[in-house]
Structure 1
Amino acid sequence: MLTQFGYVGLFLIIAIGFILVTLGIPALLARLTKIVPRNPSPIKQETYECGMETTGRSWVQFNFRYYIYALMLIVMDVLAVFLYPWAASLGDLGVGAFFIAVFFLFMVSVGYFYAWKKGALQWQ
């Protein structure tokens, strides 16, 4: 009889086998037969963007504020991930956990207001 760890091991073996088979079949067919074509050409190597040829430079520098917005989104997502289990078990944790969560929210708020004061959240 399989234990719970046996099921995990069996799942890992099946997952690794599936990955190897999925990656191995095209590689094997490309080497043994001509079923998988390989005809590189300059036209096939060009960048394809919505069916239109690129005009001008294809290298575009983005404003760093996009990265600030992305980081703020990640911070808020992490905040939600940490606060949900805490809120679900608040009754069992006690008063100490409440003050730790308040301190955590305070630290996140300080970072948010710092970014706001520096003008990182203003859209220009």
Structure 2
Amino acid sequence: MLYSFIVFIIVMTLAGLSLWLLSVSIAPKNPHPVKEDTYECGLPAPEPIISSVNFQYYFYAIIFIAMDIAGVFFVLYSIGKGDPKFGWIFILFSLLLMIPLTYIMVGGNRK
């Protein structure tokens, strides 16, 4: 059993490395200043543009990932709910998950 797992890890590592080397070797290597320029509505930019990103959307992305993990946890709980210790873990996890959800509902990150 352990031997097959080690073989699997080695094969997957070699497959990943070979795909990476293949992509590096066949990728076009012709840099040009126009390709590095900021594209804005098909017109050349009149001056260098410094783009800013609104970081409040990253907060929502992190909350989305947390809820996604919660969904996986709930599915796993429903599969193994014959064991009573999973009930306490489920309750604790649900309460901990309510903290960021309540923060969003109250509007804690709005400025």
**CA displacement at 1:101 relative to structure 2:** 0.4
**CA displacement at 1:54 relative to structure 2:** 4.3
**CA displacement at 1:76 relative to structure 2:** 0.9
Q: Which runs of 5+ in 2 are unaligned?
A: none
1:90 aligns with 2:81: yes
CA distance in 2, matches of 1:68, 1:14: 34
CA distance in 1, matches of 2:71, 2:105: 20
Deviating runs (4+, > 6 A) in structure 1? none
**CA displacement at 1:11 relative to structure 2:** 3.9
Identity of aligned residues (%): 23
Normalised by the length of structure 2, the TM-score is 0.64
Look up the match of 2:21: 20
> Counterpart of 1:58 in 2: which secondary structure?
coil
Which amino acid in the other structure matches residue 86 of structure 1? Answer: Y
Q: Which runs of 5+ in 1 are unaligned?
A: 27-35
1:46 aligns with 2:46: no
1:77 aligns with 2:68: yes
Which protein has the larger Cα radius of gyration, Structure 1 or Structure 2? 1
Relative contact order: is structure 1 or structure 2 higher (C-alpha 8 Å, sep ≥ 6)? 1
Which amino acid in the other structure matches residue 7 of structure 2? Answer: G
Question: What is the aligned residue count?
Answer: 108
**CA displacement at 1:62 relative to structure 2:** 4.3
